């Protein structure tokens, strides 16, 4: 496990799931994975929020994670999103990705149910008890409607395979608070592109990024600069990317980033309902941001 944990850092892409004619486009997905690795991405998250996982069937979920593992071939860690709002289902998915060869699991706080802090603790403890995979907590109050407290995270950090957090709170004070509560070896990964640079300055070691779907090299270079302590270089890249970071969330993600990926010829822009096609106004914003960064003419 230690070797895997040392690799969970830098620019990690929250992969989109391409669709064509209503079906998962595994060919396009495989090409996206290969491109990510070639461009310097240091980790892959299939079947996270950006992958529209709640709309995937069980077979589609297994196919997406299996394809990522097969193509990555151990070159970068594959951190599969297995969290649901059912503890039993989360356990099933976590055990399934362990069998597929994933390197770790990303487990979101149960959405819609709104569990108490004790409920959160018991949920993660139950999942951790049935797998040998390292588990990253995914704390995203804006989507899940529940915020894991620092105190609850510290309790979970005592379990041997609860190894870190993807923090999408955008509260940079949390990084220091969680480090003091959970220890310096607790892996802290940003889940929010616009504040990822500041997150690392506070002690984080990477970002699970939406923007890196379309700008993998720039995101990797920015992360590498922060990990080397070269914040001057990192700020220059972040300044270049900021418009893209912002406009990839001009509507509910992943609709904007899938449209951006379509502009690069990576896949179709299709999302599954209940996500709507991107509006023309938002398409113009995404195109302008992509042009400004230099990704398209």
Active site (catalytic) residues: 138, 166
Radius of gyration of the chain (CA): 18
- The answer to whether the bond into 217 is cis (omega within 30° of 0) is no
Q: CA 63 to CA 69: how far, in whole Å?
A: 10
Structure tokens at 113: 């149910």
For residue 160, list its beta bridge partners. Answer: none
Q: CA 59 to CA 50: how far, in whole Å?
A: 18
- What sign does the dihedral 92-147-276-255 (CA atoms) show? negative
DSSP string, 185-238: TSEEEES-GGGHHHHHHTT--EEEESGGGT-HHHHHHHHHHHHTT-HHHHHHHH
Q: Which 8-state DSSP code applies to residue 160?
A: T
- b/e map 77-90, b = 16+ CB within 10 Å: bbbbbbbbbebeeb
Q: CA 296 to CA 29: how far, in whole Å?
A: 21
| Neighbouring C-beta atoms of residue 158, cutoff 10 Å | 9
Contacts of 239 (CB under 8 A, 6+ apart): none
């Amino acid at each position: 496990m230690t070797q895997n944990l040392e690799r969970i850092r830098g620019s990690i892409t929250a992969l989109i799931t391409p669709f064509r004619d209503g079906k998962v486009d595994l060919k396009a997905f495989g090409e996206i994975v290969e491109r990510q690795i070639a461009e310097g991405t240091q980790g892959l998250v299939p079947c996270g929020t950006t992958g529209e996982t709640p709309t995937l069937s069980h077979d589609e979920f297994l196919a997406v994670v299996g394809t990522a593992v097969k193509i990555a071939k151990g070159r970068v860690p594959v951190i599969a999103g297995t969290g649901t709002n059912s503890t039993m289902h989360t356990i099933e998915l976590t055990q399934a990705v362990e069998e597929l060869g994933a390197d770790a699991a990303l487990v979101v706080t149960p959405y819609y149910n709104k569990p108490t802090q004790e409920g959160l603790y018991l949920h993660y403890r139950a999942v951790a008890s049935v797998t040998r995979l390292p588990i990253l907590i995914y704390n995203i109050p804006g989507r899940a409607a529940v915020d894991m407290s620092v105190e609850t995270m510290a309790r979970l950090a005592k379990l041997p395979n609860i190894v870190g957090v993807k923090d999408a709170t955008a509260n940079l004070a949390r990084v220091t608070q969680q480090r003091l509560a959970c220890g310096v070896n607790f892996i802290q990964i940003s889940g929010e592109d616009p504040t990822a640079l500041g997150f690392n300055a506070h002690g984080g070691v990477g970002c699970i990024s939406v923007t890196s779907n379309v700008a993998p090299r720039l995101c990797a270079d920015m992360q590498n600069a922060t990990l080397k302590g070269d914040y001057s270089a990192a700020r220059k890249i972040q300044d270049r990317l900021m418009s893209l970071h912002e406009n990839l969330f001009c509507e509910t993600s992943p609709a904007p980033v899938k449209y951006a990926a379509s502009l690069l010829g990576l896949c179709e822009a299709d999302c599954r309902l209940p996500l709507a096609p991107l509006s023309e106004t938002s398409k113009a914003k995404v195109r302008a941001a992509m042009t400004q960064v230099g990704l398209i003419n």
